[in-house]
Structure 1
Amino acid sequence: MTAWSGVTWDHPRGYQALRAATRHPDAPVCDIDWDIQPLEGFESAPIATTAQRYDLIVLDHPHIGEALESGALQPLDQLFSAAELASWCADSVGPSARSYEMSGHIWALPLDAATQVSVRRDPGVPLPDTWDQAVELAGEVTAAVPTSGPHLFLTLCGIAVAHGASPGADVFLSESEVGEALEVLRRFVPERPARDDNPIALLERMSGGAGPDYCPHVYGYVNYTRGPRPLRFGDAPRGRGGRRGSVLGGTGIAFSARRTPDDTVLDHVRWLMSARTQCGFLPDEQGQPGSRTAWESDAVNGDTRDFYRATRATIDDAWIRPRHAGAVAFQTAGAEAVRACLFDHHNIRRLAREVNESFEISSRCAATPRNES
């Protein structure tokens, strides 16, 4: 039998547990070759192209609409029982499971859960509870946010959501919502950043002792709670609207349409999704579980300086990004528009117009509803 092919992203959180599971004595025997791709590929590579090469895909929820339009994935309700799916979805943390549901089907299982949270290097520095406090702290310590890929745009969205915005309800964001969020964002981004950091690079620098003291908004990676310079994570700041205003991340595991799964690979995925695996094997192998049971576990939290409890309120309140067929292209265009405004023209009206026009263009011909979240 030909080995199953899988793809995930290039970080121990993304690949170590998946590769180790193929050799674990308690896991159902299944021959899976897990390839890895850079975080930027994970965030933006066309899912239809990926699905032509791989049988199992670890993906981000903004790709779901594109996957449906191209027929790239298999609906999981045709592979697993309704009881199994209901159990996994009920045990998922925050809106993770819901982010992979569309058009009456489930397209990926919430293997891993994450959202934008706060992090600091020095345990003596208190994590701000509000964005006003975060801006104040940024005047006292070194502070930064990720700047590469989609992350400036996603942080802008998170701040706007915290202040009460509902992106995409009428326009994506109004000019006043964009302006208010940008004013906060620019306090954490130098006029000309010396580096263009993705979340992993920023956290690596912080844990290495060379990065900023504080980051108010970065996708949480439990891996950096360990080591000689452990980082301390906590909830994202609240906005004026009282919401944490975080943009959901995490990953789901999906089956491409190119090959019909057999019992060996289905049983292997069942084992990965089981509460026992999520609470034991997965965190032991650098994974970040999607299971609510794991997030509430004393043992799991005890090994991570309460990473999960400290960020639970934020993920429960996280915002699901657009998932229509043009969502990834829109996210890319939004990031380019935010970068241009911050580092070039500084025109908020232009930024709001470009973001809203990109949203409208990307969703105009989408086969899946743009606000189906």
Structure 2
Amino acid sequence: MNRYRGLTWDHPRGRVWLEAASVLWRERGVSVDWEVHSLEGFEAHPIETLAEQYDLIVLDHPHIGDAVEAGCLQPIEAVLGAEHPALAQVYAGRSLHSYRWAGSTWALPIDAAAQVSARDASRVDAAPETWTDVERLARDAPVALSLSGPHALLSFFSTAAAVGAEPVDAPGESWVPDREARDALDLLRAVHAHAAPGYDRLNPIALLERLGSDDPLAYVPLVYGYVTSATRGSGAPVAFGDAPRSAPGGRIGSTIGGTGVAISRCARVTDAFREYLAWLVAPRTQRAVVPAFDGQPALAAAWADAEVDAAAGAFYSSTRDTIESACLRPRYAGYPSAQVAGSAVVRAALSGEIGSDEAIGRLGALARESRRHVQEGTR
């Protein structure tokens, strides 16, 4: 028996289907014991320390640069082979590309997600198309932005993409050019000015739990989509839709998320282990097993499958345009810690604690300083 230890995040979407798969694969000679950590741990815990304890790690792509610098992961090409079909499949949006860095692929996408809109359909008939529409709605109904943890910066990136600037991943530059940064902050501030207090402290899962409950929250313009919220048994299902545009017919502004499974450099690679990894992203698994056990597939074919979509309350068809247009966050070594600091700056700007000029200056300094450590080799 090939025995492995895995780590994923503590939500049905992150663990139920992997646990179900483990039952099946024990009969095939591969035993994976999956442990979990919180969403906050998933978003912030250094991969290099996790790789000392686990063989398989479900991670978020911004950690790839840190992991590669630490040398704690095995490239997927070295595990499966550069020509393996798993690396040639079409995944939703930029899911596969998000795990490619320094000439290699460092995780296999097993879950695809992006910041989308979410609403209580009993209070809001249809998702607003533009940020102007969102502001108009916020004057009449409870609307909240997703601002906890790293999500303030991610909402800023999404809004900047809507006004024409994806995050820049180049030394010596701000993440977002000053003009688009100002426009993005203005759009977010206009909505946040009408937001009820307290929602800015809630993570995406908690925000979605408020929608369709006794809570008055009616709409969130940017929040990572959870198929489990579209099909939940208690409370009203959340109605998901595309993220807002800056103008009618303009670009949808969103930032890709999702998860990939990475292989620790300490993991023992066998033929049976390779078969297990390939099975996780195989078309049949992604279209049948993952959706059946609370998962959110990464393969584009699963997102386009009519039966999968119908069982998910049209979650996939309602948000597919958004995930296909979603931008990438930076992935260089040092970015995850800068992301935390950048989110604090965005929250301060939206609360009125600092002005736009100071916020833009701080964000630019964070971007340059975090990359300077990489350039000088001090990390």
TM-score class, shorter: over 0.9
Residues 1:49 and 2:54 aligned together: no
- Coordinate RMSD, CA, aligned: 2.2
Aligned to 2:366: 358
Once the 2 structures are TM-superposed, how far is the Cα of residue 2 of structure 1 from its aligned partner?
7.1
Please say if 1:200 is aligned against 2:205.
yes
> Residue 84 of structure 2 aligns to a residue in which SS?
helix
Name whichever of 234-243 and 315-324 sits farther off.
Answer: 234-243
Deviation at 1:4, TM superposition (A): 0.8
Match of 1:32 in 2: 32
Decide whether the 8 Å contact of 1:60 with 1:250 is kept in 2: yes
Q: Aligned partners of 1:214, 1:261: CA distance in 2, in Å?
A: 46
Residues 114 and 187 of structure 1, relative CA distance in 2, 3 Å threshold: same
CA deviation digits over 1:136-191, x for unaligned, max 9? 12222211122210111110111011001233264322333222212221244367
Structure 1 pair 62–367 and aligned structure 2 pair: CA distance change class (3 A): farther
User: Match for residue 332 of structure 2?
Assistant: 324
Change (3 A) 1:322 1:211: farther
Matched, 1:149 2:149: yes
Question: Per the alignment, do residues 212 and 268 of structure 1 end up closer, same or farther by CA in structure 2, a change over 3 Å counting?
Answer: same
- Structure 1 residue runs without a partner (length 5+): none
Describe the superposition over 1:227-261 as per-residue Cα deviations: whole angstroms up to 9, x where unpaired.
24111111111124921110110000110112222
Matches within 5 A, 1:3-18: 3-18=3-18
Deviations 1:64-86 (A, max 9, x none): 1111100011011011133324x
Deviation per CA, 1:69-115, whole angstroms, max 9, x where unpaired?
00011011011133324x44432111100111111111100110000
Shift of 1:367: 6.2
Q: Which is further off, 125-134 or 106-115? A: 125-134
Q: Does 1:282 align with 2:286?
A: no
Residues 322-361 of structure 1, C-alpha deviations (whole Å, 9 max, x = no match): 0000110111110111122233523111111110100011
Which amino acid is 1:117 matched to? V
The 8 Å contact of residues 6 and 34 in structure 2, kept in 1 or not, is answered as yes
Tell me the residue number matched to 1:103.
Answer: 102
SS at match of 1:358: helix
Match of 1:272 in 2: 280
Alignment of 1:301-320 (within 5 A): 301-320=309-328
What corresponds to 1:176 in structure 2? 179
Q: TM-score, normalised by structure 2?
A: 0.91
8 Å CA contact retained: 1:88, 1:273: no
Match of 2:217 in 1: 212
Give 1:204 shift: 1.1
SS at match of 2:361: helix
Query: Which residue does 2:230 correspond to in 1?
Result: 225
- With over 3 angstroms needed to count, the CA separation of the structure-2 counterparts of 1:298 and 1:43, relative to structure 1, is same
CA positional deviation for 1:285: 0.3
Secondary structure at the residue paired with 1:215? strand
SS in 2 for 1:254: strand
Q: What letter is aligned with 1:120?
A: R
Give the Cα–Cα distance (whole angstroms) in 2 for the partners of residues 120 and 59 of structure 1: 28
Paired letter, 1:161: A
Counterpart CA distance in 2 for 1:339 and 1:66 is 25
Paired residue type of 2:206: A
Structure 2 unaligned residues grouped into runs of 5+: none
Q: Spell out, residue by residue over 1:199-220, the C-alpha distance to the aligned partner (whole angstroms, 9 max, x if none).
A: 0010011143425111110000
The answer as to whether partners of 1:21 and 1:27 remain within 8 angstroms in 2 is no
CA distance in 1, matches of 2:376, 2:273: 29
Question: Structure 1 residue 349 and structure 2 residue 353: aligned?
Answer: no
Structure 1 counterpart SS, 2:211: helix
Distance 1:212-1:78 versus aligned 2 partners, 3 A rule: same
Listed as ranges, the matches of 1:54-203 within 5 Å are: 54-85=54-85, 87-122=86-121, 125-168=125-168, 170-189=173-192, 193-195=197-199, 196-203=201-208
Distance 1:293 1:173 in 2: 33
Q: CA deviation at 1:3?
A: 2.9
Deviates more, 1:333-342 or 1:60-69: 333-342
Output the CA distance in 1 between the equivalents of 2:223 and 2:196. Answer: 20
Letter in 2 for 1:102: W
Aligned-pair identity in percent equals: 40
Q: 1:94 to 1:120 in 2, by over 3 A?
A: same
Cα separation, partners in 2 of 1:95 and 1:333, compared to 1, 3 Å: same
| Count of residue pairs the alignment pairs up | 368
Q: Distance in 2 between matches of 1:313 and 1:27?
A: 39
Report Cα offsets for 1:257-301 as digits up to 9, x if no partner: 122222232222221111001001110100000011100101100
Q: 2:6 is paired with a residue of what secondary structure?
A: strand
